[in-house]
Every structure is written in C-alpha cells, then in structure tokens.
Chain A
Amino acid sequence: MGTNGKKIVAVTGNEAVAEAMRQINPDVCAAYPITPATDIMQRFTSFVSNGKVKTEMVLVESEHSAMSACIGASAAGGRVATATSAQGLALMWEELYIASGNRLPIVMSLVNRALSAPINIHGDHSDGMGARDCGWIQLWSENAQEAYDNMIQAFRIAEHGDIRMPAMVCMDGFIISHSIERMEYLDDETVRNFAGEFKTVNPLLDVEHPVSYGPLILTDYYMEYRRAHAEVMSKVKKVVLDVAKDFEKISGREYGLFETYRLEDAEVGIVVLNSAAGTTKDAIDMFRDKGVKAGLLKPRLFRPFPYEEVGEALKHLKAVCVLDRADAFGASYGPLFMEIAASLYPYKERPVMFNKVYGLGGRDYLPDQAELVLTELAETLKTGKVKTVKEYIGVRE
C-alpha cells in the first residue's frame, strides 16, 4: 500500500480495466472475445470464478448478442458492463442505438482497434469514431491510469439521474491494453463508495408495475423523442465535470472535458487523442526549449463533444494541427479534425488548421513525427499559410 490507501502497481491497460470492473462489481456482464479486448473479460471471468465479484456472466455467441443481453439486463434493472474492439463494436452497431434510445446506462470498455478490411488487430480509432454518433457517451484515455479512472467514473456518469445513457471508455489497443505501466489503484471500498448503489428506474423485473420498453414511434412523435435525447446529452458535460470533481477528492487526480498542456500561452497547438498525447508532450517540451511556443489539447469527453469549451481553449492560437488516428473515407478530413474545425468555426479570428493522419492499424507514432508536425506548425506561424490541409504521416508513399 502506498499513501492514502492507494496501491502502486505495474499493470497493463486491460488489467487496469478489469480491476476497475472488479471493484465496481456489476450485476451482469456479457462478453465475447476479440483481440485486444479479450484479456479484460478473461481476467474478469476469473474474478467471477473465484467468487471475487457477485456478477453473473452471459457468455454469448456474438457481440450483437452481447449488447442485446446487456440491453435486456440493463432494462431488467441492474448494473451492466461489457468490453469489445473493432469488428465487435461494428457488429453491435444496431444495438448501440437501441441502448441509448432506451436510456440504458451500460458501460463498455472499447479497446480501440482498426476496422477490417484488411483485417488488422492493432490500435487505431476507426472503431470508436464509427460509433461516435450512436448516442453513447465517449471518454478517451491516454494511458492505463486514465482508462482505470475513466472506467470508474463512467458508471457514475452513465447512471446519473439526469442522464442515464450508455458510456464507452476508449483506450488504444496494444499500446495501452497490453503494455505494462506504473499506476495507482484506489482501494476497493473507496471505489465502491464512489460508484454507489445502482438506482433502478422503471425496471422490467418490477412485475407489479409493468412497463413496455422499445415501442414503435412513428412520424407523430419520433422527432420529439430524438430531440429529447439531444436535450439529455446536453447535460452530460456538467455531470462529467461534477463526477470528475468528486473523483479528484478520492484520487487526487484531476479530470476535465479535455486536458491541455502548455496551451495557455501557446501560439501553435496540436490536438490528439489517447496514447499519442504522451509522445507529443515530450516533443512540445523540446520545441519550447527551442523557443517555439507550442501546446497541446487532448480531448477526453469526445461525445457529446464540448465544442464551446474546446473552441475557447484553442481560439487564441495562430496555427493548429489535428492528428487523427482514424481516416474518414470519401477523401474527407479525419474525424477529430472536423470536430476541432467545427469548434473554431464560430470565431472570426481563428487559427489556421491542418490535419495529419497517423498511426493507422497500430503503426508506431514516433517522436520524429511529432517533431515534423511541430516544425511545420512553426513554419506555418511564420508564413500564415497552410501547405497541405490533409496529409498522412509515417506512411510509405
């Protein structure tokens, strides 16, 4: 044990997520294996087999059924979790909308992996990005610590009375899921108290007060339902911040809608999600030493996207490069770029922007790529002109 009942450990991202799930101790978990998420449920089922949790497992025959079972279990009235990656998430697509449409606070760990074809098991963000508009809350994590912390907070956020929406916690496949890092665990009791008792709302299992889930809604009311959904999503930001404040009290770790690094006085900035942020921060330090005023913004809450706050945080910059670990086919810009561009659009004075696609299918993101981007940003600062709006880096052309 370290200080304050915190335990310092060396674990993989998957191990950390499985530990968070053990501490949360959901009522039901559904699982179907897919690399690199498999390991989470392998570890978790050993907790089940050894009586460390009260969870009932549903070891389904596909991810479609995994999410279907999660939906049934959540509507029945209890705490529910699962994990998946890439093709698994793609197979759940139909169900993701049904989970959010029914306001079911299911929590899912998404270990980000590239989508087929070609089949590739390594980390990129095409899966999470593909599911970005399905009504789930998305929290992204730079490392195992953040994945663990986000996972714990996700239950509180998803189950919050003002929201009750499903949430997914993303971390990079292999780079985080399978690498060992130093991190801090909270103790079981602290996590349990933080998560609190699950409060059931309109449970199916209340046979004295029968409810019907999943009605047919035609043109007369469908838009009103969807509008109401948007209304609920607009409350997520506040809940995420409130939960983060409470989490800081038990962990000493601060979380917001996004993280900034040396951004306040910066002239140029990089926006990047998840694990690549670490390498980028190092490169920023190097360029700061060389006199380039560079900073970083790393989104945490990606859905609903906090456009105003992100815009405010970036608007003073002269140039911004958005790094996307997912491509958008149709010769479009990367998905993160489009969000950042949208967040800056309302400002008359705004930075010039360009977009780099990197690290697809687990391709390494190396310090010299970050340096390349910063060099280009510094040049852009001088010329005020963008060379190429979208480019691939670290690729054999």
Chain B
Amino acid sequence: MATPLSLKELSKKEVLLTGGHRMCAGCGAPIVVKMVLLAAEQPVVAANATGCLEVSTCISEFTAWKIPWIHNAFENAAATASGVETMYRSLKKQGKIDKDIKFIAFGGDGGTYDIGFQSLSGAMERGHDLLYICYDNGAYMNTGIQRSSATPFGADTTTCPAGSAIPGKLQHRKDLTKIMAAHGIPYVAQASPSHWQDLMKKVKKALATPGPKFMNIIAPCNRGWRSRNDDAIQLSRLAVETCYWPLFEIENGVTTISVKPKEKKPLVEFLKPQGRFKHLFGPENEHLLNEAQAQVDAYWDRLLREEAFSASLGSKEAEEKIA
C-alpha cells in the first residue's frame, strides 16, 4: 500500500538520511533528499555526484545514508547509476535478484548542468530505468560559490563577482529542465521543498514510471545565497510564488503546471532577502532588475502557452476519439 501524502502517515516512515550529517545548518539539499526518500515506496539505491551533499554525508566510516549509496566522481552520477541499474537488470534476468529496487542519482547544479551534462544526457538517451535529481542551489557551493550555468542572472559569485565594471553574472540560467524534456524521456519535472506534497507526488510518479526520469529541485544554500540560515523553505516558496521557479511537469511531452501562484509576486521579493543580489538594488543597476523580471515573465508566459498547447492537443485527441 502506498503511504498517503499526509504528515501523519509520513511521520511513521523511517527517515533514510540521518541527522548528524555535516551539511550547513539550514541547507536546502538534505531537506530535498529526505523528502525524496520518504516518497519512495520501494528500496532505493542512490548514486551521488561530488558536491556539498556528497562530501558532507559520508565522511570516513560515518555515513548518513541508510540506503545503499555510491559516490564515484563529480561528473558521472548518471553514468554510475546506469552501471548499477544495468547490473540490476542483468542479475534480475539471471534470477539472482528478485527485489523491486529503484535507482536515484543526486547531483548539484554544477555536477548536472555543466560537467555532468554529457553523462546525464547519455544515460537518459540510453533509457535506463532511473530517476536523476538535480538539487539546484545555483552555484558550485562546495568549492566556494563559483558560478555555474544554473546561476541566476545578476548573481554575485566568487567567479563572477559583482564589481564596478561587471555587475555579477551576465548570462541567464541554462534551462536544463526543458533540455531534459527535449530528450523525449517519459517524465520531467520541476519541484520545490516549499511545496512538499507536490514534490513527493512527483517523485512517486517518477518512480512509478518505467525508464529515465529527471527532476530539477530548487535547494536554497544560505552560504551561497547570503541569506538567513532559517530561510530555505521561505526562499524556495518565494521562488515559486514569483514564478522564478515554476512548478511543472512534462509527461511524455505534455506540459502541466502543477502549482499556479494565486498572485504572481514581483521577482524582487525573491531577490531582496539574498545578499548575492544586493548590488542589483543600487540605482545604477535598476535595468538589471528589470531585465531579470522580464526574463522570468517571458518564461512564465511561454510555460502557460506550452501548457495550453498541451491541453489543446489532449482535447483534439479526445475529439478524434469521439468522432
């Protein structure tokens, strides 16, 4: 029986990432991992890319993982998980294993959008039955907040520092979620720990879907975002409510927005509490704030159109069926 997504029921389940790991207090990543593992009904084997999550959860003989876990290197969580999953298929076919096991790879945005992109793309194309989860904190946090291709426009990082000549990151984020959808895989979604039910529903759906799946989950980092360390959930909620981080899923090419904010808040509400955007609030940088807002608006509008288009296809198919 599937555990209903109620706090009462979930609280009876074992948390599979223990407390006492060494991530910073208030980090969003372990919250995401706990939610993901709580959502899983079957036993899970996880692969983890190098990054904050990995270095802090398995130091020497102290592992925080109550599930089988493998860290290989920075760029190859997907390829490593492919190998594990292939061995599983091999041994299952040979009758040496009869358990139903699920495979999840976790990578930070650096290990996913950038250096691990090839291995991720390869694994998805090959059709391995695994779920890849990017916990996106928008920079290389473990090495000290360097820009990645997921770093938001205008952010101050240690390799694109806001200075008098260059005001932080000049490029917009890479749209990895859509790129993964373009692989034609059966399930792609974006989620946020602020919307835990939505997140866990998506994980359940992903794990129930055979084949390769990808989820991009926002995971605030108070060190890198220069925010309060009790703000992870509040900031990820603002990310959703400002439409900076829309919650949607793409199932077999059909786009559905799973959470539509009642009132779309201005982007500055998400940016303001974060020190990495402080410089944008000087009068000389107003145009950058406008550009960031315009980008978010354009993305949201496009997403709405994509959803409408998906829906229209759906109804056309339905009409054809009726006729």
Contact = CB atoms under 8 A, between A and B. Distances in A.
26 contacts: A27-B87, A30-B83, A65-B122, A68-B80, A68-B83, A68-B119, A69-B79, A69-B80, A71-B70, A71-B83, A72-B72, A72-B83, A73-B87, A75-B70, A76-B83, A76-B87, A76-B91, A77-B91, A204-B68, A205-B68, A205-B91, A210-B67, A210-B68, A214-B58, A215-B58, A216-B58
A370 B90 CA distance: 49
Given A30-B83, A64-B75, A214-B70, A205 B88 contact: yes
Interface string A1-45: 000000000000000000000000001101000000000000000
Contacts of A204: 45, 68-70, 84
Given A64-B76, A68-B79, A210 B69 contact: yes
A166 to B, nearest CB: 14
A341 B16 CA distance: 54
Given A213-B70, A215-B61, A215-B71, A27 B82 contact: no
Nearest to B123: A65
Given A205-B97, A210-B65, A216 B75 contact: no
Interface string B86-129: 11111101100101010000000000000000110111011000
A386 interface: no
B66 A210 contact: yes
In the A-B complex, the 4 residue pairs with the smallest Cβ-Cβ separation, listed nearest first, are A72-B83, A61-B122, A69-B83, A214-B71
Interface stretch (A50-58, A147-155, A316-324): A50-58
B249 interface: no
Given A28-B86, A80-B87, 18 more contacts: A56-B86, A58-B86, A62-B118, A65-B76, A65-B119, A68-B80, A70-B83, A72-B84, A72-B86, A76-B45, A76-B83, A76-B88, A95-B72, A207-B67, A213-B71, A214-B70, A215-B61, A220-B60
A342 interface: no
B257 interface: no
Contact of B86 (A69, A212, A217): A69
Q: Which of A69, A210, A213, A214 has the most CB of B within 10 A?
A: A69
Contacts of A218: 59-60
B81 interface: yes
B72 to A, nearest CB: 5
B83 A205 contact: no
B35 to A, nearest CB: 19
Contact of B82 (A69, A74, A216, A217): A69
B233 to A, nearest CB: 27
Given A72-B82, A205-B84, A64 B119 contact: yes
B314 interface: no
Contacts of A28: 83, 86-87, 90
Nearest to A211: B68
Contacts of B73: 68, 94-95, 98
B83 A216 contact: no
